[in-house]
Amino acid sequence: MKNFTLCLILIAIVSVGCKKSTFVPDPLDGDLPAYTESGNNTAGAYVNGDPWVDKASVGMEFHTNEALYIANVNTAGVDSTVFYFNGTIDKGALINTSVYINVVVKGLSLSTPDDLIRLNDKKIVLDGIRNYVIINASTISTYYTVPKLEMNKKGTGEFYIKRTQVESHATLGGNGPTHPIILSGTFNFDIGTTKITSGRFDIYFMRPFGQY
């Protein structure tokens, strides 16, 4: 069992390769980022009707300033891959609430950057048992206590990695050129009374320096 995170193995993916978000508003609803496949490092959705947006900022190592953090973990004795999104609701009934969306998927066996590429056009059905979504949330004055959201409960839905691509151009880094990998897709989740709808993401990863 590989009890490690993908980002730890390939540390340059999210540390040296961190890229600040580019927010391109959806032409039909400017509160959310448009669906793009350009590596804009953004994600967005509605959480019970309120706009939730996930943006990356340039920072050190691989912490919560990343738009998407991927980890291989062991849950109930089974290897799983977890996709962690960390965003904020800036308007509506849940204003100033940070919502952490964790998508848990069995059987992906990710261990190298190229393993991300084979997820192209992959629709993952979350049945709430084998594959599922869990959310946590906090506000300025509380920590993981937002009564309007159902937290730590397994939810259902669909997580669609619509497109994975390798940038054709090389990006120069401290030890040589790399070719970034971009993951883009959509999601919709149902967690009891918490509904996450119109989800979309466009995430940019750097390969470790020297990998072509």
List of residues 6+ apart from 149 with CB closer than 8 A: 47, 48, 94, 97, 99, 135, 137, 194
d(CA 40, CA 30): 16
At residue 12, the pLDDT reads: 28
pLDDT of 140? 63
- pLDDT for position 207: 57
Sign of the dihedral through C-alpha 37, 38, 42, 44 = negative
pLDDT in tens, 99-157: 999 999 998 877 777 788 889 999 999 999 999 999 988 876 555 456 678 888 999 99
3-state secondary structure of 118: coil
Nearest CA to 134 out of 60, 80, 79 is that of 80
CB 199 within 8 A of CB 26: no
Q: What is the radius of gyration, based on Cα positions, of the chain?
A: 17
Q: What is the pTM of this model?
A: 0.81
Q: How far apart are CA 206 and CA 39, in angstroms?
A: 11
The token pair at 179 is 């070719």
Per-residue pLDDT of the chain (212 residues; tens, 9 = 90+): 333 333 333 322 333 345 678 899 999 999 999 999 998 999 999 999 999 999 764 433 333 346 777 877 765 666 888 999 999 998 998 888 999 999 999 988 777 777 888 899 999 999 999 999 999 888 765 554 566 788 889 999 999 999 999 876 655 554 444 678 889 999 999 999 999 999 999 988 775 533 33
